[in-house]
Structure 1
Amino acid sequence: MSPSLEPGRMRGDNTLKLGLFGLNCSGGLTMTKAPERWDPSWENNLTAARLADEAGLEFVLPIARWLGYRGETDTEGTSFETLTWASGLLAATRGIAAFGTVHVGLINPVFAAKQIVTAHHIGAGRFGLNVVSGWNEGEYGMFDVPMLEHDERYAYTEEWLRIAQQIWSHEEPFDFDGRYFRLKGVLSKPKPFGATRPMLMSAGSSPAGRAFAVRNADCLFMSIVDIDRLPEEIAALRAATGGRPVGCYSSGHVLARRTAAEAEEYYRYVVHENGDWEAAEHIVAIRTKGSRSIPPERMLELKERHVAGIGSFPLVGSYDEVAATLKRLSDAGIDGMAVGLVNYIDEFPVIRDELLPRLERLGLRRPVADRPESEDA
Structure 2
Amino acid sequence: MTSIMLYSTCPQSKDLSSADYLEAVRDVSRWSEEAGCTGMLVYTDNGLVDPWTVAQMVLQCTSGLAPLVAVQPVYMHPYAVATQVSSLAYLHGRSVHLNMLAGGFRNDLIALGDPTEHDQRYERTTEYTRIVMGLLRGETMTVRGRHYTVDRLTLAPALPADLLPQLTMSGSSPAGLAAALAVDATPVRYPERPEDPSTRPDGVDEFGIRVGIIARPRSEAAWHAAHARFPTDRTGRITHRLAMAVSDSHWHRQLSDRDAGGVGDPYWLGPFQHYKTFCPYLVGSYDEVAGVLARYLELGARTIVLDIPESPAELKHIGTVVDLARESVQP
TM-score normalised per structure 1:
0.72
Q: Distance in 1 between matches of 2:218 and 2:234?
A: 21
* Higher normalized contact order (CA 8 Å, seq sep 6+, divided by chain length): 1
Change (3 A) 1:257 1:307: farther
More displaced, 15-24 or 355-364?
355-364
CA contact (8 A) 1:125 1:198 kept: no
Give the aligned partner of residue 310 of structure 1: 277
Paired letter, 2:42: P
Out of 181, 200, 204, the residue aligned to residue 238 of structure 1 is 204
What's the CA shift for 1:252?
1.1
Counterpart CA distance in 1 for 2:327 and 2:130 is: 35
Amino acid at match of 2:186: C
Deviation at 1:307, TM superposition (A): 3.0
SS in 2 for 1:41: helix
Separation in structure 1 between the aligned mates of residue 250 and residue 299 of structure 2, nearest angstrom: 32
Partner SS, residue 133 of structure 2: helix
**2:79–2:132 Cα contact (<8 Å) kept:** yes
- Indicate which of 328, 350, 356 corresponds to 2:314: 350
SS in 2 for 1:148: coil
Question: Structure 1's 150 and 359: CA in aligned 2 closer, same or farther, altered over 3 A?
Answer: closer
Instruction: Tell me, yes or no, if the aligned pair for 1:21 and 1:251 is still in contact at 8 Å.
Output: no
Among 12, 15, 18, the alignment partner of 2:3 is 15
DSSP-derived class of the 2:53 partner: helix
Judge conservation of contact 2:73–2:102 (CA < 8 Å) in 1.
Answer: yes
C-alpha contact (below 8 Å) 1:253/1:309 kept by paired residues: no
Partner of 1:369: none
> Partner amino acid for 1:104?
P
Query: Secondary structure of 2:97's partner?
Result: strand
Runs of 4+, deviation exceeding 6 Å = 293-297, 299-303
Inter-CA distance 336–160: structure 2 relative to 1 (3 Å threshold): closer
Q: Which structure 2 residues correspond to residues 282-361 of structure 1 after superposition, within 5 A?
A: 282-287=242-247, 298=258, 304-307=271-274, 310-341=277-308, 344-346=309-311, 348-352=312-316, 354-361=317-324
1:361 Cα deviation from its structure 2 partner? 4.9
CA-CA distance at 1:169 after TM superposition: 3.5
Match of 1:97 in 2: 66
Is the alpha carbon distance of 1:151 and 1:286 closer, same or farther for their aligned partners in structure 2, counting shifts above 3 Å? same
Compute the displacement of 1:99 (Å). 0.9
How many pairs were matched up? Answer: 317
- One-letter code aligned to 2:137: S
User: CA shift at 1:219, angstroms?
Assistant: 1.9
Q: Which moved more, 1:218-227 or 1:281-290?
A: 281-290
- Does the CA-based 8 Å contact 2:177-2:201 persist in structure 1? no
Q: Percent identity?
A: 19
Q: Deviations over 1:237-266 (max 9, x none)?
A: 326xxxxxxx41111122233422222233
Alpha-carbon distance, 1:213 to partner: 0.6
Aligned to 1:165: 133
> In structure 2, do the counterparts of structure 1 residues 235 and 297 end up closer, same or farther at CA, with 3 Å as the change threshold?
closer
Task: Verify the 8 A CA contact 1:252 1:337 in the aligned structure 2.
Answer: yes
How do residues 184-333 of structure 1 correspond to structure 2 at under 5 angstroms?
184-194=151-161, 196-229=163-196, 233-234=199-200, 236-238=202-204, 247-269=206-228, 270-272=230-232, 276-287=236-247, 298=258, 304-307=271-274, 310-333=277-300
Q: Secondary structure at the match of 2:281?
A: strand
Q: Aligned in 2, Cα 1:62/1:304: closer, same or farther, shift over 3 Å?
A: same
Structure 2 match to 1:32:
none
Letter of the structure 2 residue corresponding to residue 55 of structure 1: A
> Post-superposition shift, 1:303?
6.9
Q: Tell me the equivalent position of 1:64.
A: 44
SS in 2 for 1:20: strand
Structure-2-length-normalised TM-score: 0.81
The runs of 5 or more residues in structure 1 that have no matched partner are: 1-12, 29-38, 68-78, 240-246, 366-377
Contact conserved, 1:175 with 1:185, CA < 8 A, in 2? Answer: yes
In structure 2, the gaps of 5 or more residues are 262-268
